[in-house]
Amino acid sequence: MSKSASRICWHLTHSAYFVALMAASSLLSVVYANGNAKVFQYTDKKGNVSFSDRQPLDVPYTLVKFDCFACNVKSTTDWDRIPLFPRHFLREIELAAKQHEVDPALIQAVIHAESGFRPKVVSKSGAQGLMQLMPGTAKDMAVKDVFQPSQNIMGGSAYLAWLLKKYNGDLRLATAAYNAGPGTVSKYGGVPPYPETKAYVARVNSLFKRYQAQRRRMQNTEILSAASS
């Protein structure tokens, strides 16, 4: 990898932020071509917004990503065997599941598919946080800080509950709508024929079943009881 590709960083004023973010999507193709799909956004001590392919060590940062974790049709990941994260944000997931009457394993599956349990990721379309909420959805679900795990999970779970109710509990339609939007599902009268959405629905379903099985194995441990207390 060339020196310029191994260390890409742009320093800019807040007024130029959105223009630079669009430019970053194009410029970072150099980084992606070399196998690095992580881009970090942070604000330095002078107030300059910066982008880098290396994790900042001394300032808060947001991990910006330009693709959906479970939507890459060409992904070679074995979604039936990919490691699970049954203990990540467990308390927050249990609380949201109870409040919105959603299977906690489904919430875990969606978080895994959307963000890989990374609370500060931002997609190229503007979806944010663990459950990748769009700004409008976050507002509708009364989420004030999308990067705060408990708020994001509560808001995402509320939206997921609404979709499940809308589609009479049909998991395929609910997850398709979570990915492509309810309007698109209505337009096609079912799961949209988009390869990305089809892949997403299949992978969430696989993760859901696996998290359900994992939770059954955890039932006899103190983890769930402690998280629910």
Phi, psi for residue 145 in degrees, rounded to 5: -130, 100
Tokens of 100: 């919105």
Q: Are 104 and 93 in contact (CB under 8 A)?
A: yes
Q: Are 56 and 13 in contact (CB under 8 A)?
A: no
Nearest CA among 30, 10, 35 for reference residue 20: 10
The residue annotated as part of the active site, out of 92, 94, 101, 114, is: 114
**DSSP readout, 41-89?**
EEE-TTS-EEEESS--SSS-EEEE-SS-TTT-TT----TTTSPP-TTTT
114 among known catalytic residues: yes
Tokens of 222: 């103190």
Q: Are 154 and 137 in contact (CB under 8 A)?
A: no
Q: Are 36 and 14 in contact (CB under 8 A)?
A: no
Q: Which residues are catalytic?
A: 114
